[in-house]
Amino acid sequence: MERLVQELTTHLGEILAELGLAGLPWQRMLSPAREVGQGDVALPCFPFAKITGKAPDLIAAEIAAALEARKSGDGDLAACLDSATALGGYLNLRAATAWMAKSATDKQSIGHLPSSGTKVLIEHTSANPNGPFHVGRARNAIIGDTLVRLNRLAGNEVRAEYYVDDMGKQVGILAWAMNNLTPEKVDEVLQAAGRESNTPADAPAGALADTPADALADTPAGNAVESGDEPSEGGGEANPWVNKPDHQRVRWYQAANILSDEDEAVDVEVGEMVRLSEEGDDEVLERFAAAYQPVLDGMLETLTRLGIEYDTFTRESRFVSDGSVGEVMAKLAASPLHDVAENGAHYLELGGRGITGKSTKFFYQRGDGSSLYATRDVAYHQWKWTQCDRLVNVLGEDHKLQSKQVAIALGEVGQAAPEVVFYSFIKLPEGKMSTRHGRVVYMDDLLEEAKQQAYAVVEKLRRDELDESAMWEIAEAVGRSAVRFNIIKVAPEKGFTFRWEDALAFEAGSAPFIMYSHARACAIGRRLASEGHDVEAFVAAYSHQPADFAAAPSGLVELLRVMETYDEVLAKAVAESRPHLYAKHILALANAYNGFYRDCHVIQGGQVNQMHLAISEAAREMLHAGCEGLGIIPLDSM
RNA sequence: GGGCGUGUAGCAGAGCGUGGAUAAUGCACCGGCCUCCUAAGCCGGGGAUCGCGGGUUCAAAUCCUGCCGCGCCCGCCA
């Protein structure tokens, strides 16, 4: 309701001054009205009581009366302000329905803000390429991708970036496994560790070379998974993803981890490779790349199914190779915080910079002169700043300290810190998800299960009207949309436990609810078209008549209210990187549309109500944009 | 030991930064609505000591303070 406040600013300022209340920060005191029956914006008048010596309710009444009086002499005010009333010490201001309707139907690009010219770089996901994408990692990707989408809606020039950790221990272990283990050995190790109950025999040596994972091709009814079950138990049962490289290679990774726990020699070998990679050894880095690239490709395939894509991939090793890590270390050595440990390792002493705990030292260079992950991160950030105006990272809560240290180090080399969105982990009832321990719910399984359950619903509802492929298409769209929405709707800092039941919720408060409202809006257009009407022409011909809104039903008023505040919510969600605010608002929009649909029929007795149609179409566009912003697929029919 | 986060109906969860009126919403529960643009919908109902104790204020879920529970972190790992 920022537009309303803007319209009222001058008037309210003058009226308050007349009452002896000049210069007070009343704009900041405005709040949304308690309930729709009372208005849209409220001004609590309690603080004024002390100053004027009058009762709050009396002051509110005086302001209300003054505003009402001004309406007769000011057409603009009369147009936007439906009423100003006093109640219980509050001044309640209600926007005029016709005024909101005009704004809703006049807009050029509904759901999008004008281009800002701001370049935003959002780094998200950046998961180690050591195994299939699981639900725990998904929160990062879904938050990140939603921010990317919202920034685009908000008119920013966005770049989505995936930082590929191509030189650490994780990928080192994978590479070691690929070079030293046979398929038989992997089976043997995993079985011995009780990780797999029987021999999967799913990955013959040849298959590893370069499997064109086509396992994701649409799988019709056949492999339905029973609801309530946990389809992924880490192996054993017939695994539908046997041909997907990330699912194949994670077994090598897991086996190597078990071996390295048992045998120190393995650890030493891996350590040596990791050391060489950190020195920028091309041969080792190539070996690493050969090991992880198929895994990364498999992960990206899963992400694509979720509607998540990246503009650029940047490899960590790049910053070692191009010398920028060396430069960072040299600059940090000049920092007043710099010091050297006994064995020649370099660090910054951050005790005076708000870092507390067992250690306040931030090591950025080992005794042997090599760099650490965080050092490379500093170089990476330095480079990222050359690419954008605004820098956003999405990181797990376990990176908080690290991120703070990097921010301080960046300051020492004269760079600004990035904005970071931290999120809590998605846990399983039995504990934190871990690829290494095979304690995970794979996204591939979740998406498949979501599709199956969505199919069951569509099949029940519409088997008479739709053919198989249409129903499967809807099921796929509903499945991925629901999975995304159920994760994004929760504030990032809240930790939550993964439950199949919640992840697959399809009712009100979920993505299908939003999709359904959109589909209903589309159905109206289809109906009109089938009766020979030209919807666009109708909308274009619509002419706004304030009098038409004199007796607007609540469903219409409520829809217009939600539409009125869309832009401010989008702007806020983007400015503060809080995507769940937007998700909640789109939910409210869908809900409001359903109320409008109930109260305002577009087709009445064979006649088209142009006003209703114009508003319905505007809402449809906004719902469409909302889906776009949330990565929900806006089906025309479901 | 220290730091950060979190605790809101049976469950999930918004609101907390910028203190305001009867604490959203969904699931589950109870009751109603398909001769009318898609009932994955709509309408109505019951259910909350906002973790616990102090404090500030005309006013506290919101701010301060002390406890308690849960999570994450405090590597010359990534």
At A70, which CATH number? 3.30.1360.70
Give CA–CA dist A549/A552, Å, rounded.
5
Please state whether strand B lies within 7 Å of residue A576 at its CB atom: yes
Question: A90-95 and A81-87 as β-strands: parallel, antiparallel, unpaired?
Answer: antiparallel
Are residues A299 and A190 part of one domain? yes
- Distance between the alpha carbon (CA) of A598 and the C1' atom of B33, Å: 12
Whole-number Å distance between alpha carbons of A491 and A495:
9
pLDDT of A235 reads 41
Question: CB of A411 under 7 A from strand B?
Answer: no
For chain A residues 44-63, those near strand B by a CB cutoff of 7 A are: 44, 46-47, 50
Dist CA A562 CA A588 (whole Å) = 7
Q: Tell me what pLDDT residue A433 has.
A: 83
Residue A104 belongs to some domain of the structure: no
- At A362, the pLDDT band (50, 70, 90 cuts) reads very high
User: Considering only residues 91-150 of protein chain A, which place a Cβ less than 7 A from any atom of strand B?
Assistant: 92, 128
Tokens of A559: 């829809």
**A17: in domain:** yes
Burial string for A573-608 (b: 16+ CB within 10 Å, else e) reads bbeebbbbbbbbbbbbbbbbbbbbbebbebeeeeeb
Which bases of chain B are contacted by protein, using any atom under 7 A from a CB?
1-7, 12-15, 17-18, 20-22, 24-28, 36-43, 58-59, 71-78
Same domain? A543 vs A466: yes
pLDDT of residue A237: 56
Tell me which residues from 2 to 31 on chain A have a beta carbon below 7 angstroms from nucleic acid strand B: 28-29, 31
**What DSSP character marks residue A594?**
H
Distance A314 CA to B29 C1' (A): 52
Q: CA distances (Å), A233 to each of A230, A438, A479, A545, in order?
A: 7, 8, 21, 62
Looking at the fold, whether A459 and A592 belong to one and the same domain comes out as yes
Indicate yes or no: strand B within 7 A of the C-beta of A575: no
Distance from residue A59's CA to nucleotide B77's C1', rounded to whole Å: 64
Q: CB of residue A513 closer than 7 A to nucleic acid strand B?
A: yes
End-to-end Cα, chain A, rounded Å: 33
* Dihedral sign computed on CA atoms, order A215, A221, A223, A229: positive
- How do residues A497-532 score in pLDDT, each as one tens digit? 888 888 888 988 999 999 999 999 999 999 999 988
Q: Which residue is nearest to nucleotide B25 (CA to C1')?
A: A509
> In this structure, are A131 and A87 located in the same domain?
no
- Residue A428 shares a structural domain with residue A482: no
For residue range A613-638, list pLDDT tens digits in order.
999 999 999 999 999 999 999 999 99
Count of Cβ atoms closer than 10 Å to residue A323 Cβ:
11
Query: In the prediction, which pLDDT does A165 show?
Result: 93
ipTM, 2 decimals? Answer: 0.96
Neighbouring-strand partners of residue A496: A426
Is residue A389 a part of any domain in this protein? Answer: yes
- Quickly state the pLDDT bin for A372 (edges 50, 70, 90): very high
Same domain, A79 and A154: no
| Nearest in space to A561 (alpha carbons), one of A71, A4, A75, A11 | A4
Which of A31-35, A200-204, A304-308 has the least mean pLDDT?
A200-204
Strands A390-396 and A119-123: parallel
Residue A278, CB, less than 7 Å from strand B? Answer: yes
Pick the last residue of a domain from A379, A410, A432: A432
Residue A372: CB atoms within 10 A of its CB come to 19
B34 C1' – A73 CA distance, angstroms?
50
The whole domain housing A313 covers 126-432
Domain assignment present for residue A307? The answer is yes
**A103, part of any domain:** no
Strand partners for A81? A95
Q: Give the per-residue pLDDT at A197.
A: 53
Assess if residue A121 is contained within a domain. Answer: no
How distant is C1' of B51 from CA of A494, in Å? 16
Average pLDDT over residues A563-591: 96
Closest CA to A19 of A8, A27, A11: A11
Q: What is the pLDDT of residues A227-270, one digit of tens each?
A: 333 333 344 456 789 899 999 999 999 999 999 988 889 999 99
- At A471-507, the pLDDT tens digits run 999 999 999 999 999 999 999 999 888 888 888 889 8
Asked whether residue A637, judged by its CB, lies under 7 Å from any atom of the DNA or RNA strand B, the reply is yes
On whether residue A364 sits in a domain, the answer given is: yes
Question: Mean pLDDT for chain A?
Answer: 90
Q: With the C-alpha atoms ordered A40, A43, A44, A49, is the resulting torsion angle positive or negative?
A: negative
Distant-in-sequence, close-in-space partners of A327: CB < 8 Å, separation ≥ 6: A379
Q: Are residues A187 and A279 in the same domain?
A: yes
Q: Distance from residue A507 (CA) to nucleotide B26 (C1'), in Å?
A: 8
Across the range A331-352, mean pLDDT stands at 95
Q: What is the CATH number of the domain that holds A319?
A: 3.40.50.620
Q: Other CB atoms closer than 10 Å to residue A114's CB: what's the count? A: 9
CA of A551 to C1' of B39 (A): 27
What confidence tier does A214 reach under pLDDT thresholds 50, 70, 90? very low
Same domain for A334 and A231: yes
Confidence of residue A296 (pLDDT cuts 50, 70, 90): very high
Determine if strand B comes within 7 Å of the CB of A170.
Answer: yes
Contact flag, residue A40 CB and nucleic strand B, below 7 A: no
